[in-house]
Amino acid sequence: MTKVRDESVRGHAAQFEDIDEDSLQVTEPKAYAAGLKAVEVSFSRGMAQGGLSRTVRSMYRVNQPQGVDCPGCAWPEPTETKRKPVEFCENGAKALAEESTTRVVTPQWWAEHSIAELETKTEYWLGQSGRITHPMVIHAGETHYRPISWAEAFETIGANVRATTPERCMFYTSGRTANETAFLYQLLARSLGTNNLPDCSNMCHESSGTALNPTIGIGKGTVSLKDIEESELIFVVGQNPGTNHPRMLGSLAQARKNGGKVVSVNPLPEAGLLRFKDPQTPKGLVGEGERISDEFLQIKVGGDQALFQALGHLLLRKEQEHPGSVVDREFVESKTKGFAEYSRARATLDWAETEQATGLQRAEIEHIAELLAASKATIFCWALGLTQQPHSVDTIKEIVNLLLLQGNFGKPGAGACPVRGHSNVQGDRTFGIWERPTEPFLSRLDTEFGIRSPRAHGYDSTNGMSAMDSGDVDVFVSMGGNLAAANSDTAVMEAGLKRTGLTVHISTKPNRSHVVHGQTSIILPTLGRSDRDDKHSGGAQFLSVENSMSVVSSTRGRLEPVSDHLLAEPVIIARMAEAIFGPDHVVDWQAMAEDYDVIRDHASRVVEGTEDFNRRIRDKMGFVLPNPPRDHRSFATADGKAGFTVRALEYLTPPPGHLVLQTMRSHDQYNTTFYGLDDRYRGISGGRRVILIHPEDLSETGFADRELVDVVSVFQGEERRAERFHLVAYPTARGCVAAYYPEANALTHRNLVARESNTPGFKAMMVRFEARSPEADAQAAESGRTRVESTAP
């Protein structure tokens, strides 16, 4: 039996069915987000997972000062105004329910389910099974995981690392990882001698940092929550806030109440871009809610660079007609470089090509240009719709051009706002998780700890997958996350994991990466963010996180862990390091594991902006990291100037008979975690293997609505196939289709990436559909499962 320390925590087996794609139901998409239904779903999911007591206790403190930071998205909380009694959204409540669940995965569970059986299960089934209670291990040739002691687990890890070389070890990080954990984790890798530190940012916002760093000198956004609410004009580009960061809708609604306008640019008319029913207001509960978008541009996937170049052309033309009316001349002349070259490049425009690339009419674009020209404070927000295409970096640089033109840095209500996904993915990078670290960071790290960090760049998630596939990785350690399901080219990714000598997963729940494991695989169960971390001589510890707007705040779990056999992530890292390096290593790992203030003291002398960390983190609102463009209109580039850039126009042009496929999340999902099977905003429930396609495109393919097809992608002469998807007529942009992630990841060739950032091209797949043969359907029915991997010749 799993030992628990509190009678209110009674582990129980999960009772649920796996996904049956034949149960797919389709209804009309919703025209609003949130409302009373969101409240109902929030509490029902909490009750189903953890019961009344744990649900109420966890929700009461989430995102409150000195409470627990939501393990979902990275949207910030207010720091200058009083917070609401409820500072979480529906999907935040679901994330918390998943973590605070009393469903448990015990050694008996592993004994009952072989790897062969688990390989047939979906990610939904695995995750819903519950929290892992004991360390587990499986060796080559074995069919089941079995329990292993913590001591033996660390001894095995240490022996495997010492038996190979640093460059053949890889340390992956999920955005759930806290700042102190990230700092300790990168210190372990660099003490060993490797920068093989891929993370989930490689697969989502790497393009943002790659575009922003050379142009404005910082890879982060330059706005605050107050700026959002005070902005005159906000662009929401390539993102779906209603599902991925719903609290953003409240900020957008407040901006509109203050007189601002919102322009949404997206291939799908998402519910959250239309109206928002704030469940904390009477109008949101029983009324029609608040309008969110003043303007909606239904752009083709990959057409954003063409739109931004057209807007730049129109702004410069208006400036020529009325000098001084649009361009902030003083700012451009004193703070930037490259304006003359940019002006020449945007002097002319091919409107026919612009309309072809964007799917928009010239009049639509000209109207938006009028709004932009009139605005004295503009913010551009964007997410993965921009970052996961071959020309993503160039597209984001075009946003920077538009912001620079009108001086939209370092003034209220203006700036760049890449909306990060997971709750601390930005903090992980700040605290050293990066395969391409800067020399100043490494130099300070070496001075602080008396080590010699490697200078050679390491693997990111994409070339790390290729290294695994080539047999060049002996040890893979995953701090949270689920790389098998998150990365592109599913068949290659899974084969690479299986080829690796040792895989180590520091996890809370079972996932696909545990199933497609290395020759030896160890699962180390860890505390969740909402769990109390009190196994320390000095008492309970707390951690910190950084949100999308560079605010660092504390997070402290209060719930009783479901098992006495869980360890905190910093403790796991420290004991792993001691097993690798021995007791006489120059770094005092035990001191940091025992008292997280020691970690913060070290970090304060290594991570810029965190000076006096331990005092400042105890402020109930946290503290804000320095941001030169926002704070004093300066740019930490080589010459101190922000840079206009010029790039040739690029957009996605599918070959004949093909459409452009983008991946997306369901409303019942966060990254690779599935909360349920109800994407209610889009009217899709019961199944996930769907392709949303415009009715006219559907007609041209010769297939019918709800028809079952195989999806074939083509890239560099290779084809990849994903089987048994239902076509669903949906009002997406013409020529563009959409499917859920990670089911469609198998279609993304590992070489289909964004230039410079190496981010997978999840928004740039060229696909066609093939009819299912009766023989294939009969075989699938007989096997009782749907193939999730791709096939490539």
Distance CA 186, CA 573 (A): 10
The closest of 305, 241, 300 to 268, measured between CA atoms, is: 300
CA distance linking residue 58 with residue 95, whole number of Å: 11
Cβ contact 523:495 at 8 Å: no
Angle at 420 between CA 416 and CA 426, to 5 degrees: 100
Strand (E) or helix (H) holding 54: helix 36-61
Residue 713 corresponds to which tokens in the numbers above? Answer: 């992608």
Confidence (pLDDT) at 333: 98
Of all residues in the chain, what percent are helix, strand and coil, respectively (each to 5)? Answer: 40, 20, 45
3-state SS record for 338-379: CHHHHHHHCCCCCHHHHHHHHCCCHHHHHHHHHHHHHCCCEE
**Distance between CA atoms of 160 and 162, rounded to whole angstroms?**
6
Give every CB contact of residue 490 below 8 A, 6+ residues apart in sequence: 484, 742, 745, 746, 788, 789, 790
Contacts 24+ apart (CB under 8 A), 155-160: 155/579, 156/502, 156/520, 156/522, 157/475, 157/477, 157/502, 157/504, 157/522, 157/576, 157/579, 157/580, 158/576, 158/579, 158/580, 160/474, 160/475, 160/501, 160/502, 160/520
Largest Cα–Cα distance in the chain? 78
pLDDT along the chain (793 residues), means of 10: 39 70 96 90 87 81 84 84 79 88 97 97 96 98 98 98 98 94 98 98 96 98 97 97 92 96 98 92 84 97 98 98 96 98 98 98 98 98 97 98 98 96 90 98 98 98 98 97 96 98 98 98 97 94 96 94 97 98 96 98 98 97 96 96 98 97 96 94 97 98 97 96 98 98 97 98 98 72 48 41
Q: What are phi and psi of 610, to 5 degrees?
A: -105, 20
CA of 767: how far to CAs of 74, 654, 661, 665, 792, in Å? 32, 8, 6, 19, 14
Question: Residue 302: which of 652, 582, 632, 780 has the closest Cα?
Answer: 652
Q: How far is CA 255 from the centre of its chain?
A: 25
Task: Classify burial at 499, counting beta carbons within 10 Å of its beta carbon; exposed 0-12, middle 13-18, buried 19 or more.
Answer: middle
Tokens of 706: 């709800």
Reading across the β-sheet that carries 502-507, which strands appear in turn?
Answer: 146-147, 136-138, 520-525, 502-507, 475-479, 169-173
Long-range CB contacts (< 8 A, 24+ apart) of 494-499?
Answer: 494/789, 495/469, 496/465, 496/466, 496/467, 496/468, 496/469, 497/468, 499/468, 499/469, 499/471, 499/473
Pairing of strands 669-670, 131-132: unpaired
The H-assigned helical ranges of 62-149 are 90-99, 107-112, 115-118, 123-128
**Which stretches of 217-326 are DSSP H helices?**
225-230, 241-244, 247-257, 282-286, 304-321
- The amino acid that residue 244 corresponds to is N
Strand partners, 719: 714
Cα 704 to Cα 709: distance, rounded to the nearest angstrom: 10
Give the C-alpha separation, 404 to 222, whole Å: 13
Q: Are 193 and 454 in contact (CB under 8 A)?
A: yes
Q: Which residue has the tokens 């560099």?
A: 716
pTM of the predicted structure, to 2 decimals: 0.95
- Both structure tokens of 633: 């209109």
| Residues 280, 291 contacting (CB under 8 angstroms) | no
Q: Contact, 212 vs 220, CB < 8 A?
A: yes
Phi, psi (degrees; rounded to nearest 5) at 171: -125, 105
Distance between the two ends of the chain, CA-based, in angstroms?
A: 48
User: Which amino acid is located at 736 in the chain?
Assistant: C
Q: Which of 710, 705, 765 is nearest to 730 (CA)?
A: 705
Return the pLDDT at 638. Answer: 95
Distance CA 233, CA 61 (A): 33
Give the separation between CA 194 and CA 189, rounded to whole angstroms: 6
CA 338 to chain centre: 33
Per the DSSP assignment, residues forming a β-bridge with 256 are none
CB 523 within 8 A of CB 109: no
The phi-psi region of residue 30 (left if phi > 0; otherwise alpha if psi is between -120 and 50; otherwise beta) is beta
Residue 277 φ then ψ, to 5° = -100, 95
Burial class of 433 by CB neighbour count within 10 A (0 to 12, 13 to 18, 19+)? buried
